[in-house]
Structure 1
Amino acid sequence: MGFPSEHENWIRDHLKRRRGERLDALKRGHGYGNRLFIEQIWWPLAGHFHGLHPEYEVKDWRGRSYFVDFMWVVGAVRIIFEIMDFGSHGTDRTKYRRDLNRGLFLQAQDCSVYYISLDELKENPSFILSALRSILSPYLSADSGGKRMVTRCYSKIERDLMRAAIRHNRVIRPAEAARELELHTMTVIKYCRLLVDKGKFRAVARGVSGRVIYYEYVGSIQSPDLV
């Protein structure tokens, strides 16, 4: 089926499963800008709606409910897309400040948040499509219509270590990683050695003793193994 029928089925399915404020939020919120994003960006990018939730309810830093435009859940990863219209977000300074605070808080909750300009979406969708294709390529590779393309062969700790290495210029120092990930140092060393055996890390030693001082991530930063 093509985009119109798939989109209709997707929205109908969410409408059937929602009640109360969640239902009202979907009816109110899935308007012109959100539909444009779905048609011009998401469908060409993914070709399916698996794991994508419109008007998804989250909590802000005050514990109050808030509906983001889209939440894409792929494995343990949560990615948020917000379509920003200057007229509704930029003229009210208090609302503008609150929107940015929400985004910052959500990123602190291990969500990736991407703000999409409605004007850019209307005038230059190819730029947004190209940028998101580069950003989301490892997740799109790992999830194709809801079916895993590869067998999971890395534990959560291993994936956390690989992502942490990427954040720190591909370098993992066990003591620092243990503090960041709230793990015991020996646990980090154990999993780093496993990643060496799997070809994802390289142990770097110094001095005549040959003591390993850090591990280097040697995989691709867009590998589906990171998801």
Structure 2
Amino acid sequence: MDYEQAQEMFLTSHLAARSGERLGRLKRGYGHAEKLFLQNVWWPLRGDFVHLHPEYEVLDWRGRSYFADFAYLPGAVKLLFEIKGYAAHVRDMDRQKYSHELNRETFLYGMGYQVLSFAYDDVEQRPELCITLLKLALSRHQTISLPEGRMGLLEKEIMRFVVGQGGRVRPKTVADFFALDSRRARTLLSELSVKGWLVPVKKGEGIRNVEYALGREIFYYWD
């Protein structure tokens, strides 16, 4: 399924599940910036819209409805995404609106939500930066499934390190962090790749131009 089909199914399913003001807000609020975020950032990173909710309603500290651009809710994890344009969120914001925004984000944090904000200009012009930052943020909520058979202590530590690095590392980075010689680091990463934990990603020619990324099938989000 390509992006256009998946995005249309995503929106249609949420429209069908809503009524009243929540439905009206989705029709009004799901606009160009939100679609651009899905197309340029979320879809290239995730390849699906599982656990993602557009125009998600939460109450602020005053008991008033607030609609986040997106909520990502895979079980215990509660992330809210905002795509912020310069005009609405900086140039045209007065002191009271600024105070309300800060108070709302602090309140939401206290309620178990984390708000991640992306500049519209970055989503439009520098999506690769947004993807990198989002991948790093999501990696904090990933946990690795247990391997089949035994895994060495150093291999486990390397996998934890890969997750902490946003899911991708170079052999030199591993060698430097664990004080290993470069050949040993490459061997360990290659063995983890053979086991299916990592996937080699070519960045050029030769063994020195290889990165290793988490195999998508070996990690999951908390249910």
Q: TM-score range by the shorter chain?
A: 0.5 to 0.7
Say if 2:18 is the partner of 1:45.
no
Tell me, in whole angstroms, the C-alpha distance in 1 between the residues paired with 2:34 and 2:101. 17
Name the residue aligned to 1:92. 93
Tell me, in whole angstroms, the C-alpha distance in 2 between the residues paired with 1:137 and 1:61. 29
8 A Cα contact 2:82 2:117, kept in partner: yes
The code of the aligned residue for 2:60 comes to D
The code of the aligned residue for 1:92 comes to M
Say if 2:5 is the partner of 1:65.
no
Name the residue aligned to 1:18. 18
**Same amino acid, percent of matched pairs:** 38
Name the residue aligned to 1:108. 110
Matches within 5 A, 1:140-151: 150=145
SS of corresponding position for 1:127: helix
Name the residue aligned to 2:33. 33
2:128 to 126, 129, 149: 126
The code of the aligned residue for 1:2 comes to D
8 A Cα contact 1:138 1:226, kept in partner: no
Structure 1 unaligned residues grouped into runs of 5+ = 143-148, 152-198, 200-218
Tell me, in whole angstroms, the C-alpha distance in 2 between the residues paired with 1:226 and 1:44. 18
Cα offset for 1:220?
A: 3.1
SS of corresponding position for 2:45: helix
Name the residue aligned to 1:137. 139
Name the residue aligned to 1:220. 160
Tell me, in whole angstroms, the C-alpha distance in 2 between the residues paired with 1:64 and 1:83. 21
Cα offset for 1:44?
A: 0.9
Aligned residue pair count: 156
| Structure 1 residues 58 and 128, CA gap change in structure 2 (3 angstroms) | same
Tell me, in whole angstroms, the C-alpha distance in 2 between the residues paired with 1:43 and 1:131. 14
Tell me, in whole angstroms, the C-alpha distance in 2 between the residues paired with 1:49 and 1:95. 31
SS of corresponding position for 2:42: helix
Name the residue aligned to 1:76. 76
SS of corresponding position for 2:23: helix
SS of corresponding position for 2:73: strand
